[in-house]
Structure 1
Amino acid sequence: MSTADSTLLQQAVAGLRLHDIVLYESHFVHGEPFPEAEELAAVQQHKRGVSYRVTAFGSEEAAGKRLQVVVSLGERLVDDDSKDEPTIYFGVEAEYMVIYELVTDVSEEALHVFSNLNAVHNVWPFWRQHVFDLIGKARLPPLQIPLFSGGADG
C-alpha cells in the first residue's frame, strides 16, 4: 500500500464506525456433474467487486450520514478457465452490505480506499464461513478460501 493510500485509510478509519454487516444476496449453483477423478482438471476462479455510496438518515434535527458498501464475492470450480464458456461444476456468490456511520467528514478518496480494503476485510470471515457451510451441506469438494490478504485476489 502506498503512503498516500495509508494516509487516506487512516483518515477513513478515524471518521467511520462499523454499524452492521448484512448478507444481502446469495447464489449457489450446482452445475455439471463431475467427471471421473482421473479426468478432472478443474480450476477455481475468484470474483471480487466493491461499490459504495453515502446516504443520509435520521430527522433534520438528528441527521447523520452512513457509508453503505456492497462487497460482491464469488468462487467457482470450472473445467478450464482458458475457455470463453467453461463448464461450471459448482459455484457460490454472495453480496454483503456493510454499513458504517460517518462520525466526521471523510474525503471521497479516503472512502474509496477504505471501501476496497477495510470493508472487504470486515466481510471476509463471514464470506469464508458462508462458502464452507454451503459447500459442506452440498457434499462437494472444499474450495480454498485463503485468509484475506488485501490484494485484488483476496
Structure 2
Amino acid sequence: MDKQLIAEAAEQVEIVDIYLYSSTVSRHDEIHQNNIPEGMVQQDKLAVSVDLLELIESVEDGADSLLRARIDYGVRFVLLPVTGDEDSVHVLAEITACFAATYRYRDGLSEAAISEFMRYNAVHNTWPFWREHALRMSAEARLPRPTIPLMKPVS
C-alpha cells in the first residue's frame, strides 16, 4: 500500500455513489443456524475491478471523469476433505455480493494513484455495506452467522 499515492488521489477524488450491483444466497445442503455440521469452516472472497466511465461535460479545462469500482465479496461454509485435497471442498452454503462504488475525479490524476486509491479506498468504502449485507442475508436465510472481520487493506 503506497500511502503517498493514496493521499494524492484522496485530494482529487470524491465518492458519488455506492450500491449493490449483484447478490446471491445459495444453500447446497440442509444447513441452518441450528444444524451446523462438525468440521464446517468459513472461507472468504474479495476481488476488486475498476472501470473508467463516461466523461462528465465540463466548461472548464481538465474535465471531471468517473470511475466505478466493483468489489466482489463472498463467504461460504464448507467441509474440508479429510484426505488433505484442498481442491475438493464440499460447499454447504454461500453468500456473495458485488458492490459498486462510483467516484468523480479530476483528469490529470496518475494511473498509479488511481489504482492504489481504488485498491484501498473502494474496499474501505464498501466494507460496511458488505458486512451488513452478509449478516442480514445469513439471518434471513437461517444460515450460520458468518464472521466478517475488521476491514484490512488489500495487499
Q: TM-score, normalised by structure 2?
A: 0.85
SS in 1 for 2:124: helix
Q: Which runs of 4+ in 1 moved over 4 A?
A: 35-39, 60-63
* Partners of 2:12 and 2:125 in 1: CA distance: 16
Match of 1:11 in 2: 8
Instruction: Report if the CA contact (8 A) 2:56-2:66 is conserved.
Output: no
* Partners of 1:12 and 1:50 in 2: CA distance: 17
Match of 1:46 in 2: 44
Cα deviation, residue 138, structure 1: 1.1
Q: Which runs of 5+ in 2 are unaligned?
A: none
Cα deviation, residue 22, structure 1: 1.2
Count residues with an aligned counterpart. 149
SS in 2 for 1:33: coil
Match of 2:134 in 1: 131
* Identical-residue share of aligned pairs (%): 30
Change over 3 Å in CA distance of 1:38–1:44 after alignment to 2: closer
Q: Which runs of 5+ in 1 are unaligned?
A: none
Cα deviation, residue 15, structure 1: 1.0
| Structure 1 counterpart of 2:55, one-letter code | F
| Structure 2 counterpart of 1:74, one-letter code | G
Instruction: Report if the CA contact (8 A) 2:18-2:126 is conserved.
Output: yes
Cα deviation, residue 34, structure 1: 3.8
* Partners of 1:14 and 1:142 in 2: CA distance: 38
Instruction: Report if the CA contact (8 A) 1:56-1:64 is conserved.
Output: no
The Cα offsets for residues 4-52 of structure 1, whole Å up to 9 and x where unpaired, read as: x111001110110000001001111111124996951011111111111
Which of 31, 48, 51 lines up with 2:28 in the alignment?
31
Instruction: Report if the CA contact (8 A) 1:15-1:105 is conserved.
Output: no
Q: Does 1:79 align with 2:79?
A: yes
Instruction: Report if the CA contact (8 A) 2:17-2:102 is conserved.
Output: yes
* Partners of 1:39 and 1:99 in 2: CA distance: 40
Match of 1:102 in 2: 105
Moved more, 118-127 or 49-58: 49-58
Instruction: Report if the CA contact (8 A) 1:56-1:65 is conserved.
Output: yes
* Partners of 1:121 and 1:6 in 2: CA distance: 14
Match of 1:117 in 2: 120
Change over 3 Å in CA distance of 1:38–1:12 after alignment to 2: closer
Change over 3 Å in CA distance of 1:118–1:24 after alignment to 2: same
